[in-house]
Structure 1
Amino acid sequence: MSVCKKSPLNKLSLLAAMTAAMVVTSGCQSLKTANATNQPIGTVQGQNTAQPKKLESFNITGKIGVTTPGSANSGTQGGSAFYAWGQQNDRFAIELIGALGIGKTNIEYDGQTATLVSEKTGTLTAADPETLLKKATGWQAPISQMPYWISGRPAPSDSAPKLDAQNRLISSVNGEWRASFSYKGNDKLPNKISAVQSQGNKVVMTIDHQK
């Protein structure tokens, strides 16, 4: 799959090898709040410590689970998929297997248009990946914020970020979404992101960074 013919995503090897062991860890984390009024996210209790930069490119694999409150008759619904995600600047390519009830699925975004291809839906397009995912599956997920959150830092439109004792992002708010982050040992990048929307939608994503 490709985002564009000249994109480095053309030859992402992780999209050809989807078998990755998922390890989900969580631990005790002490909270520190970044003052969003005058202090940058890297300033905590008077200490100016650099936060991780947004990763301009990354290759990750893992598992994503989505739950939605559903209707009064159907109750809570959910689905899950294994994924491989290749990011290059604002472009990305995602391959999903067991894709939330619509079969193997490819999602690509070139910075302006999102395209989804699956066995069940055929080819769909939308202006942004969130609209596309909802159109294809009915699920909602904060995809546009994920490249920042995967990098261990808040998205530009986030508010109320909180850091742990190691200055790692452990929670952040983006509109109706509240995200929390877990880390393996002393890793600086999260290995699990959980995002809950005020309307009851929830996304849990485990992350294995490919080196």
Structure 2
Amino acid sequence: MRTLLKSALIIGCSLSVIAMTGCQTMTQKPVAPSNTVEKANQFNLQGKIGVKTPAQSGSAFFTWQQNQEQFDIELSGILGIGKTQISGQPGQVTLNSSKTGLIRAATPEELLQRATGWQAPITHIVSWVQARPATLNAQLQKDDQNRINQIKEDGWTVNLSYNDTANLPNKLILQQQLETGKENRITMVLQNR
């Protein structure tokens, strides 16, 4: 049960890292008009997330509401562990479930470390779910419709899949290669936007 709980926490904390990246201060950002960035960081998503590390794996259904720097994520069906609520705003992130109780942290990275011990935070997913790089250093590949279908950035490779002529991806596979030759992998299937 302890391994199942740890897997659930990794999933939950991964999503909190995902949501809070929209309000993290970055030294390099793509140039875009401020009103475009603000609108881009306001969305509602529903789907399924799976996390696989060399030590464990798990999956959950999620609903994610992002409103600029504030977010609410609800996870359900995490390996039978029940509902988990993750909320955040600048300077405060919380994770609450019946199994863990309330965990608080100042940043999503700190929450992830406290809850799981996992030190591989995903820092750019707010941009990635919107089919854009998070920094100027990203390496991009595009499909024949000129949509970004792969982003290599800060040690992660992100493969984006699209439905037909959609402009936003319906699936993301994030991979981080480890020194051991193994990998951390996160799969996000976006069912509703």
* Same structural fold, with TM-score higher than 0.5 when normalized by the shorter chain: yes
Aligned residue pairs total: 155
CA 1:136–1:170 in structure 2 vs 1: closer, same or farther (change >3 Å)?
Answer: same
Of 78, 90, 109, 1:111 maps to 90
| Consecutive unaligned residues in structure 2, runs of 5 or more | 1-29
Of 64, 76, 86, 1:85 maps to 64
What is the aligned partner in structure 2 of residue 99 from structure 1?
Answer: 78
Distance 2:98 2:174 in 1: 28
Cα RMSD of the aligned pairs, angstroms, is 2.5
What is the aligned partner in structure 2 of residue 202 from structure 1?
Answer: 185
Alpha carbons 1:140, 1:201 under 8 Å: kept: no
CA 1:183–1:208 in structure 2 vs 1: closer, same or farther (change >3 Å)?
Answer: same
What is the aligned partner in structure 2 of residue 190 from structure 1?
Answer: 169
Alpha carbons 1:141, 1:203 under 8 Å: kept: no
Q: CA deviation at 1:183?
A: 0.3
Cα-to-partner distance string for 1:103-152 (whole Å, 9 max, x where unaligned): 31111110222111111111112232243234324557755412111111
| Consecutive unaligned residues in structure 1, runs of 5 or more | 1-39, 43-52, 71-76
Larger relative helix fraction: 2
Higher mean Cα deviation, 147-156 or 81-90? 147-156
CA 1:184–1:145 in structure 2 vs 1: closer, same or farther (change >3 Å)?
Answer: same
Secondary structure of residue in 1 paired with 2:124? helix
Alpha carbons 1:158, 1:172 under 8 Å: kept: no
CA 1:164–1:141 in structure 2 vs 1: closer, same or farther (change >3 Å)?
Answer: farther
Of 45, 55, 69, 2:54 maps to 69
1:21-36 alignment, distance < 5 Å:
none
Cα-to-partner distance string for 1:143-198 (whole Å, 9 max, x where unaligned): 54121111111112651122222221111123222111000000000000110112
TM-score, scaled relative to structure 2: 0.71
Larger Rg: 1
Of 88, 104, 108, 1:125 maps to 104
Q: CA deviation at 1:101?
A: 6.7
